[in-house]
Amino acid sequence: MNSSSIPAPAHGLDVSVVIPVCNERENVLPLAREIHAALGERYRFETIFVDDGSTDGTAEAVRAARRDGLPEVRLIRHSVRAGQSAAVATGVREARAPWIATLDGDGQNDPADIPNLLVAVHTAASPRLRLVMGNRTTRRDTWLRRLSSRVANGVRGGMLRDGTPDAGCGIKVFDRAVFMDMPRFDHMHRFMPALFRREGYEVVSVPVHHRERTRGTSKYGLHNRLWVGIVDLFGVMWLMRRASPRVCVEEDA
């Protein structure tokens, strides 16, 4: 990808790392430190924790991370819990860089994978590449979560034809401007590849690590991961059918 096709960094930043968190107090500082280690010597970055109505001291843990010598850390708070998609959207809206990297707040995504996703963006042959998805080739989850994700990915891929083996993976890198122009709805973070393709852009997947959860408790189970996603699938299919052709707009000087 040549540099003319990449939006100029705002505030001198290359990438904003957005992490939605809800009652993840124990995971905040380890994640912030890992992100700093992964990006600190290679990229100009910021780390945005979006506290989605936590009740366990997560916000104070983010403030403590900033006091711990990580000045790139920012805290954005929801007054009430609004859901992961809303938290991602809030973080992207407040981000100061043209490229966004997202991670789940449970510590199962490895921040050391972010540079590989950024390299995939900036060395792509096609200027239409605007989303790089992580692909968790080895899952470190319970059998129930692995089963629900396998079923959801199979159904989603078969119906949306998004060409993505792990559309629910939390670690990804994407163009902020494209995201901001997309429709918003609950659970949209699970359908990012289809939505980016709907906008006329390309999507690729890159293998990433996946780790066991060692701190905190999962917020998702069979009901809110599998069945809700299948219900949302029909709404996304409607959006795909209703997509308008994307045209280049120019003003005559």
One-letter amino acid identity for 144?
L
User: What is the per-residue pLDDT across 186-231, written as a single tens digit (0 to 9) for each?
Assistant: 888 888 898 898 888 999 999 999 888 878 676 554 455 555 566 6
From 139, 86, 132, select the one nearest 109 (Cα to Cα). Answer: 139
For 3, other C-beta atoms within 10 Å of its C-beta total 7
Instruction: Please report the pLDDT score of residue 213 as a whole number.
Output: 82
pLDDT bracket for residue 3 (50, 70, 90):
very low
User: What is the per-residue pLDDT across 24-56, written as a single tens digit (0 to 9) for each?
Assistant: 999 999 999 999 999 999 999 999 999 999 999
Instruction: Please report the pLDDT score of residue 9 as a whole number.
Output: 47
CA distance 253 to 251: 6
Rama region for 173: left / alpha / beta (φ>0; ψ in -120 to 50; rest): beta
List of residues 6+ apart from 236 with CB closer than 8 A: 160, 191, 194, 195
User: What is the per-residue pLDDT across 241-251, written as a single tens digit (0 to 9) for each?
Assistant: 666 666 666 78
User: What is the per-residue pLDDT across 97-151, written as a single tens digit (0 to 9) for each?
Assistant: 999 999 999 999 999 999 999 999 999 989 999 999 999 887 666 655 665 566 6
List of residues 6+ apart from 160 with CB closer than 8 A: 191, 193, 194, 233, 236, 237, 240
What are the structure tokens assigned to 209, written together? 């690590």
Instruction: Please report the pLDDT score of residue 143 as a whole number.
Output: 53
Quote the pTM value.
0.81
From 107, 97, 102, 101, select the one nearest 29 (Cα to Cα). Answer: 107
Compute CA distances 109 → 106, 129, 148, 201, whole Å.
Answer: 8, 22, 18, 25
